[in-house]
Structure 1
């Protein structure tokens, strides 16, 4: 692929200087292209910030660059970078905007992701375009004050992102433990096109797609050097294993019901003692914890550095004004559920899960991650083969191994999901519809999914961790390829 470097003069406070922005990337812009930028300024950013706010101190904590992205001289998006990166004392710096094989490694990539999500993707239609970036200093103390342009540059792109994916032949399906090969009809042409688009990077960092129809393997495809024996880190998909094991623990008498309260297992003040296991299963406990709020005391990122995650969770404040029965995404609560099971089940949760869940499914190769107290980490991260994740999904689809009544409770509209229309939450299951097809599903960072339909289980594994497109691209795969091919 032809590559070029473009040197562009910078416009600095209305005058032309011999400073430069250097773009380095692919002249043909595809889904797997890379693009980096080198910026040289007349003076360090901190000096521009001082000019904007001469009476303010600690400006490195109050300001940074504003990026403005243009396509063909039309402003598409602008964003103020969080203070801290790049170093405001630097006069020049280089960073990737796109690095296909190392996504999410740098702040600059997230600026590009935001641009693409907020109009850039639709603006970059097939054919030639000019990308322009303008840099301005800003200070927010407390009002937003934006300076003049201190750098700008252009880069010519010849976009070829659609229509270039070649349909690829599907892999031969072989039997797997307890899963014979299906001979039911499906639209192979559509799945071949999907396979080609995954390989071409239209759908990014997908590692497997598996479909089980009526308990038989319909198709099974692997990508990015993964295969049938690969163990996939599906992040929060693993939360649903805590729900399954809770149901089994009730079946076996270790729990009376999900309505038991934390006060039966821990010494707690009354307001915390009254919180039930069901509230942990439905993410509706009044602990002040919300992973979607970076300022929340119980955000999972605050838990991980501590040396006792159970104590961290139980010591969180309770806020019944903010949380009064509604759903809020609370990873620490699911960790607490699993650690409670580990506490009350003789021999611990790991041995119990192996005997009562994995052994009946003939799953022998899997990996837990652990809490600092060495309990299986039900916050997420359990690793299995794709077909073994499908067998876990079949426990619910077939109401086998896991008690039928528990499956019915798990796959029900326990609560509406806050901020999402016509979507619901069960017992650590998500719920929505793709058109006429309703699904309950497990979901994890990066676009990892186990979808359960009436006669169908779909597993998609991916490594697009923390990428803003990760879940949306899976929706497109389901809506435009997988479901139309099968139904």
Structure 2
């Protein structure tokens, strides 16, 4: 009897082990996803994850088509050895290493590449996560939707196109308010705080929850259009507006309106939540050169080889602050010293270079005065461990770009 009971116990245990194993295999991506999100901003190395996002999340591809637009090799520049940041001298090689740089590219306005280098196992075929650089793609798509009459006006309220937001903190917020990070919705984007809104947002995404449902939980803090407080959910709800207004997901609209027109070299993909909704706040994945092509599109005022892909006046408006809270400089009605446009940053002057910027030091830097685009992909493992520039190193990166622009601008 005792032996029989032991066999039964072993059989039951075996069934449990097999069941757990089957569950584990079925949920392997979800389990890894939770591990991934929980380790962000902890100092853990992220390089392998950032080039393999489709192993963690569902994605939707946007496909290239037509001839590849050649980015010809030009006279190569040598990076300066140092750059200056507020009176402090920084060594460029050390800075690139410390910020876990995976790619750096410098292109002239005609597409000529004067610098291109990869590190940490990346190469020209590596697709890399944009993080908030993807917000600037949302901006471009909104501009196209307005040009096509899909969105009647940036002055329209979001709920006109996204009735799902009626009765929420986004009821009464306009398309322009969201583009300018001036929705007035209460939000904390402190990556070093595990209880911040952005941390809760990341966990909701990891657990497969709806991002639209998450938006409905937020509260109002300021009158819309009065303060500029960075809020990733503002871009996220614009993704919902785009989908409802155009009848296409942001990735489908991107493929039709931009990706098929600029001679992209590779297909890209967009991270989704488990309901099939794009992470409009930062889920674009593409190669370094294709990020550069998007930057060149903006440098050339939305035109690509004679075809107006993004309206020229939209490109201009996107990097022209039009309200007090959007102006560069320290002020109480903004949580940053940088200026802001339509989901584009102005790190210095109103009429100076502008940039798409993502966490961990992703950059598309557009410098019209020097006729340059600079792209940097990175996995700065220190990022977000503090809620300031000591771990962000974003303003420092702009100083690096300024030094590179001076070198490239004087090269033959």
TM over 0.5: yes
Structure 1 unaligned regions, length at least 5: 1-101, 107-175
- Corresponding pairs, count: 310
1:386 aligns with 2:325: no
1:355 aligns with 2:270: no
Q: Which residue of 1 aligns with 2:80?
A: 190
Larger RCO, structures 1/2 (Cα 8 Å, 6+ apart): 2
**2:256 counterpart SS class:** helix
Could you tell me which of 191, 199, 209 is aligned with 2:104?
A: 209
Question: What is the distance in 1 between the residues matched to 2:175 and 2:394?
Answer: 28
Question: What is the distance in 2 between the residues matched to 1:204 and 1:300?
Answer: 22
Cα offset, 1:189, TM superposition: 6.2
Q: How does 1:83-482 map to 2 (within 5 A)?
A: 104-105=43-44, 177-183=69-75, 188=78, 190=80, 198=93, 203-215=98-110, 216-264=112-160, 265-266=162-163, 268-269=166-167, 272-292=170-190, 299-306=197-204, 307-320=209-222, 325-363=226-264, 364-399=266-301, 400=303, 401-414=309-322, 415-416=326-327, 418-421=334-337, 423-433=338-348, 438-454=352-368, 455-467=371-383, 468=391, 470-482=393-405
Question: What is the distance in 1 between the residues matched to 2:148 and 2:295?
Answer: 21
CA contact (8 A) 1:299 1:330 kept: no
1:486 aligns with 2:394: no
What per-residue deviation string (whole Å, max 9, x for no partner) do you get for residues 279-333 of structure 1? Answer: 1110000111231387899822222333121122133111237x76111010011
**2:242 counterpart SS class:** helix
What per-residue deviation string (whole Å, max 9, x for no partner) do you get for residues 377-409 of structure 1? Answer: 111131111111011011211121110111111
Question: What is the distance in 2 between the residues matched to 1:249 and 1:228?
Answer: 31
Task: Evaluate the alpha carbon distance shift between residue 244 and residue 453 of structure 1 in structure 2; reply closer, same or farther with a 3 A threshold.
Answer: same
Question: What is the distance in 1 between the residues matched to 2:335 and 2:190?
Answer: 11
Would you tell me which structure has more helix in proportion to its own residues? 2
Task: Evaluate the alpha carbon distance shift between residue 478 and residue 349 of structure 1 in structure 2; reply closer, same or farther with a 3 A threshold.
Answer: closer
Task: Evaluate the alpha carbon distance shift between residue 472 and residue 231 of structure 1 in structure 2; reply closer, same or farther with a 3 A threshold.
Answer: same
Moved over 6 A (4+): 293-298
CA contact (8 A) 2:169 2:185 kept: no
TM-score, with length taken from structure 2: 0.67
CA contact (8 A) 2:228 2:335 kept: no
Structure 2 unaligned regions, length at least 5: 1-40, 46-67, 84-90, 304-308, 329-333, 384-390
**2:262 counterpart SS class:** coil
Task: Evaluate the alpha carbon distance shift between residue 104 and residue 197 of structure 1 in structure 2; reply closer, same or farther with a 3 A threshold.
Answer: same
Question: What is the distance in 1 between the residues matched to 2:78 and 2:151?
Answer: 47
Would you tell me which structure has more strand in proportion to its own residues? 1
TM-score, with length taken from structure 1: 0.57
Cα offset, 1:343, TM superposition: 2.5
Question: What is the distance in 1 between the residues matched to 2:218 and 2:95?
Answer: 46
Question: What is the distance in 2 between the residues matched to 1:235 and 1:272?
Answer: 23
What per-residue deviation string (whole Å, max 9, x for no partner) do you get for residues 346-376 of structure 1? Answer: 2433222111111101224212111332122
Task: Evaluate the alpha carbon distance shift between residue 206 and residue 246 of structure 1 in structure 2; reply closer, same or farther with a 3 A threshold.
Answer: same
